[in-house]
Amino acid sequence: MKASVSGIITLVQQTWYTTWSGPEGSSHTYLCLRVPLFISMKEKTAEDFMRLALREAEKARAIDEVPVGAVIVRDGKVISRAHNLREKNQKADSHAEMLAIRKASSKLGTWCLDDCDLYVTLEPCMMCTGVIGLSRIHALYYGTSDPKGGTVDSLVQIKTIRHIGTYPKEIHSGILQPECSAILSDFFREKRKKKKRDRNEFRKAQ
């Protein structure tokens, strides 16, 4: 991938240099070629990657799973993405982060992800915080806190535990917090409404 990107850059630069020294109209060619390239090469921000994690959370919501999504990034590129699949897989450990870590390890052929960053919409639970540390994820970015189950900053402050808290090296919270929180609260509000509707219908049928 790197080779092809640098190949494109070289090709565009060669084209530019050729036209630059050419006849009139070269400045127009310069704009046509360089401006789109600049836009496409612009470095992605934490918010950009969290938006991709939110897209994964949307996929979970579409199949009636608790909407949590995660992506893993290495050298500015997404190498794995996943969403919560606990109900579909009927496995308690099918959390978005766990699935994303497994995919990344399979892809890279290593358990050690110390050159990777993880973006997840919800503060990780105890299980996921443990696996994030064991897989040596470099930086963790999460969207919204989980006061009932989060073990990065909420129930437990992982950085205060010596040895266990070595990884991730960086923790960033509150990335697109309103959006990451809203998708969860909307999901649970709908669940409560449905439960109430079902209960009323059951009573009427008695």
Using CA atoms, how far residue 138 sits from 2, 53, 68, 112, 135, in Å, is 22, 17, 21, 10, 9
| Residue closer to Zn ion (CB basis): 39 or 61 | 61
Q: In whole angstroms, what is the distance from residue 181 CA to residue 175 CA?
A: 11
| CB under 8 A, 24+ apart: contacts of 90-98 | 93/127, 95/68, 95/124, 95/125, 95/127, 95/128, 96/53, 96/56, 96/57, 96/60, 96/68, 96/69, 96/70, 96/120, 96/121, 97/70, 97/124, 97/128, 97/131, 97/132, 98/127, 98/128, 98/131
| Residue closer to Zn ion (CB basis): 38 or 72 | 72
Using CA atoms, how far residue 199 sits from 23, 168, 192, 195, 204, in Å, is 78, 45, 11, 6, 9
Q: Which helix (H) or strand (E) holds 185?
A: helix 177-205
**Residues touching Zn ion: how many (CB under 5 A)?**
3
Q: Which amino acid is at 95?
A: H
Q: Which stretch binds Zn ion (CB under 5 A): 50-58, 91-99, 111-119, 161-169?
A: 91-99
| Residue closer to Zn ion (CB basis): 128 or 183 | 128
Contacting Zn ion within 135-194 (CB under 5 A): none
| Residue closer to Zn ion (CB basis): 83 or 95 | 95
Residue in the shown chain whose Cβ atom is closest to Zn ion = 128
If binding is defined by CB under 5 A, does position 122 make contact with Zn ion?
no
Catalytic residue among 24, 47, 58, 97: 97
Query: Binding Zn ion by CB under 5 A: which of 95, 101, 133, 141?
Result: 95
Query: Binding Zn ion by CB under 5 A: which of 53, 128, 131, 176?
Result: 128
Question: Is 97 an annotated catalytic residue?
Answer: yes
Q: Which stretch binds Zn ion (CB under 5 A): 77-85, 117-125, 164-172, 179-187?
A: 117-125
Contacting Zn ion within 19-38 (CB under 5 A): none
Q: Which residues share a beta bridge with 72?
A: 80, 118
As measured in angstroms, the least distance from the Cβ of 18 to Zn ion is 54
Query: Binding Zn ion by CB under 5 A: which of 71, 116, 125, 152?
Result: 125
| Residue closer to Zn ion (CB basis): 73 or 128 | 128
Which residue numbers are catalytic? 97
Binding site residues, Zn ion, CB under 5 A: 95, 125, 128
